[in-house]
Amino acid sequence: MTINDVQRAYLAIFAAREAGPGASADQMKAIAMCIRNRVRQGWHEGDWIKVIENADKYRANLHRPAPIDASDRNFQTLARDIDDIYFSRRDWDKEPSHDRMPGLDEAIGNCCYWAFASQPLTSWFLINIANDQNHILKTNMGLMMFYT
């Protein structure tokens, strides 16, 4: 096993737990993409493990630990697709294509924060992200919101 294997497994487990019970595969993938964006932007020296370990500091909602169900089809889909998220080399500084419906990766773009609108927001998130003009609400997935 390599450190890349450990990082990808940790990313998948973190995203599934963060999304919570009943989450769709796309919700889990979107959280993993936000973590990837933090790594790319150099948060915590661009170290995957440090970024995931420090994610609580930037949480929008109170954490609700969720057990992992390895038989869940959505979790299995995330595990199958985690390499595409981890190794993605897309450049989100370019304008998205307007001639087609954007894919999940394109919709999330360079977002680094997610929040569930159906749950109370932390005061840190309200002050530093939701009410800060430097962090725009870029997209949403049902009751899940994504900020740059």
Residue 98 is predicted with a pLDDT of: 55
Side-chain-facing half-sphere of 44: CA atoms under 13 Å: 16
In angstroms, the first-to-last Cα distance of the chain is: 33
Average pLDDT, rounded, for the chain: 91
Closest CA to 52 of 92, 15, 2, 4: 15
Q: What is the pTM of this model?
A: 0.91
Share of the chain above pLDDT 70, in %: 91
Would you say residue 90 has pLDDT above 90?
no
Of 68, 72, 60, 71, which is closest to residue 11 (Cα–Cα)? 68
Q: Give me the pLDDT at residue 85, please.
A: 96
Q: How far is CA 138 from the centre of its chain?
A: 13
Could you give the C-alpha distances from 96 to 47, 72, 144, in angstroms and in order? 28, 32, 21
Query: In this structure, are residues 17 and 74 in contact, taking their beta carbons and an 8 Å threshold?
Result: no
Q: Is 41 left (phi over 0), alpha (psi -120 to 50) or beta?
A: alpha
